[in-house]
C-alpha cells in the first residue's frame, strides 16, 4: 500500500544557510533502498517535503527527520494513502523556489506551514507537483 506524507519544518539554525544540499544528498543516497520517492523545497526558513512509500519505510525516515538537527518543529500536515506516486521518477527532487516568478509558491508554502488547512495543503501539494513536472520539462 502506498502512503504519502507531506510535512513542513523550520530550518535550523534560523539565521544561517539551510543545508538543502546535505539533505538532498542524504535522501538521494538512502531513499532508493527504502523504496521512497518525493520532493523537497525550501522557502523563507521553511522546509516542505513530500515523501511517498510504504508505511514502515516512511515511519523510519520520519524518526530520522525528527532527530535531524537541521530541522525543528517538524509537523505532518498530510498523511494519507495514495493510488499513485506524484514523484515516481525521483528519489528526492529539489524544487528550487529562488526565482522571482516562484514568489507566489514561496508565499503559499510559508502560509500553509504557519496556518494549515485541508484545502490549503491539497492546493500546495498540487502546486508543488505541477511546478516539479514543469521544471523538469523546462530543463530537459
Mean pLDDT by 10 residues, the chain (140 residues): 95 84 93 95 91 97 94 95 93 84 89 94 92 61
Query: What is the distance between the alpha carbons of residues 73 and 137, in angstroms, rounded to a whole number?
Result: 33
Which of 95, 90, 105, 106 lies closest to 38 in space, CA to CA?
90
Distances (CA, A) of 84 to 2, 40, 80: 7, 18, 12
pTM beyond 0.75: the answer is: yes
Q: Which residue has the cell 544561517?
A: 16
pLDDT of residue 138: 44
The domains of the chain are located at: 2-139
3-state secondary structure the chain: CEEEEEEEEEECCCCCCCCHHHHHHHHHHHHHHHCCEEEEEEECCEEEEEEEECHHHHHHHHHHHHHCCCEEEEEEEEEEEECCCCCCCCCCEECCCCCHHHHHHHHHHHHHHHCCCHHHHHHHHHHHHHHHHHHHHHHC
pLDDT of residue 136: 55
pLDDT of residue 139: 42
pLDDT of residue 18: 87
CA atoms within 13 A on the CB side of 14: 4
pLDDT of residue 44: 87
**Topology of 2-139 in CATH?**
Alpha-Beta Plaits (3.30.70)
pLDDT of residue 135: 65
pLDDT of residue 140: 38
Amino acid at each position: 500500500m502506498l502512503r504519502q506524507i507531506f510535512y513542513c519544518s523550520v530550518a535550523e539554525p534560523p539565521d544561517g544557510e539551510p543545508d538543502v544540499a546535505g539533505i538532498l544528498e542524504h535522501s538521494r543516497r538512502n531513499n532508493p533502498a527504502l523504496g521512497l520517492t518525493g520532493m523537497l523545497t525550501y522557502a523563507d526558513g521553511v522546509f516542505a517535503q513530500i515523501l511517498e512509500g510504504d508505511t514502515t519505510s516512511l515511519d523510519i525516515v520520519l524518526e530520522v527527520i525528527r532527530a535531524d538537527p537541521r530541522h525543528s518543529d517538524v509537523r505532518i500536515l498530510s498523511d494519507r494513502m495514495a493510488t499513485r506516486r506524484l514523484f515516481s521518477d525521483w528519489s528526492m527532487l529539489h524544487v528550487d523556489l529562488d526565482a522571482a516568478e516562484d514568489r507566489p509558491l514561496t508565499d503559499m508554502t510559508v502560509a500553509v506551514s504557519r496556518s494549515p488547512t485541508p484545502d490549503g495543503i491539497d492546493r500546495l501539494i498540487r502546486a508543488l507537483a505541477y511546478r516539479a513536472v514543469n521544471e523538469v520539462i523546462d530543463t530537459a
